[in-house]
Amino acid sequence: MTPANPAVTDSTAPPVAVHKLLSGQKALVTGANSGIGKGVAVALGQAGADVVVNFVDGDDAANAVVEEIKKAGSRAYAHKADVSSEEQVAAMFARMKQEFGTTDILVANAGLQRDAAFHEMTLAQWNKVLDVNLTGQFLCAREAVREFLRRGVVPEVSCAAGKIICMSSVHQEIPWAGHVNYAASKGAIKLMMESLAQEVAPKRIRVNAIAPGAIRTPINTAAWQTKEAYDALMTLVPYGRIGEPEDIARAAVWLASDHSDYVVGTTLYVDGGMTLYPGFATGG
């Protein structure tokens, strides 16, 4: 009997091929040995991209992410660099060019908090957060754009000449007392991303952002580790659960892929409804 669809049943091609949205693409993820960056790096690798796993400390954790990506069949290596250092960022992209030939996707994810009451905030705390969260994204995005402009569109790889995803936060929108430096850095990322997107869109470079809500990572353990803290957090999340790095990773794969080709200069909120002003569900 003839199979109903010989093209499918006789195929020797790996069945996962259709899911490899990012085959042939080269991605760099900053801050990729922990939390959201780790989830994104692994997901991009599973989607077929070769991945540079940037980190600033924690060699073992970075190597473990590399191994996970390799297990999925993609190439990967770890690269230690401080994203707030112009020289180190330039060297990271130069090595990527040597190892992988180019850059197609940048996920500018590295970020940190240095919390303090405003009247006690030191200049060092202010500068550290702005240096890593904002200047780090500027330096990495600038290197990526230079490479995208040099190379242009390669239609077999992607409709776009390159994709940048800035990891922002719901705090690009929601003010956050006690975290003024952090909220200022994320608010700045919003307009950096939008202005850059406007500038480079004619070159077929797509720049977008993801604004995560509360995601279970080491950056915010105090917000979810105890039952009391978790319950308090849930009053801010209409969807009723904390986010996982995989929730952000899936959004990043889509934003990096040609499936989102007409999405330019947008922030995708992945926050379980945190930006819906949940206090107004019963008040107001």
Which positions are catalytic? 182
**Which of residues 26, 28, 29, 33 is near ligand NAD by CB under 6 A?**
33
Binding flag, residue 169, ligand NAD (CB under 6 A)? yes
Binding flag, residue 35, ligand NAD (CB under 6 A)? yes
Binding flag, residue 15, ligand NAD (CB under 6 A)? no
Residues 107/51/254/263 CA torsion (nearest 10 deg): 50
Binding flag, residue 111, ligand NAD (CB under 6 A)? yes
Element (H, E) at 68: helix 59-71
Helices (H) and strands (E) in the chain, counts: 9, 7
At 212, is the secondary structure helix, strand, or coil? strand
Eight-state DSSP code of residue 263: -
**Which of residues 36, 129, 253, 270 is near ligand NAD by CB under 6 A?**
36
Q: What is the CA radius of gyration of the chain?
A: 20
Based on CB atoms, which residue is closest to ligand NAD, 158 or 267?
267
Query: For residues 51 and 3, what is the distance between their CA atoms, to the nearest angstrom?
Result: 39
Binding flag, residue 45, ligand NAD (CB under 6 A)? no
Total number of residues that touch ligand NAD (CB under 6 A): 27
**Which of residues 145, 160, 167, 274 is near ligand NAD by CB under 6 A?**
167
**Which burial class, exposed, middle or buried, applies to 34 when counting CB atoms under 10 A from its CB (0-12, 13-18, 19+)?**
buried
Based on CB atoms, which residue is closest to ligand NAD, 29 or 161?
29
Binding flag, residue 132, ligand NAD (CB under 6 A)? yes
Binding flag, residue 272, ligand NAD (CB under 6 A)? no
User: What letter represents residue 133's amino acid?
Assistant: N
Q: Which residues here bind ligand NAD, judged by CB under 6 A?
A: 30-31, 33-37, 54-56, 82-84, 109-112, 132, 167, 169, 212, 214-215, 217-220
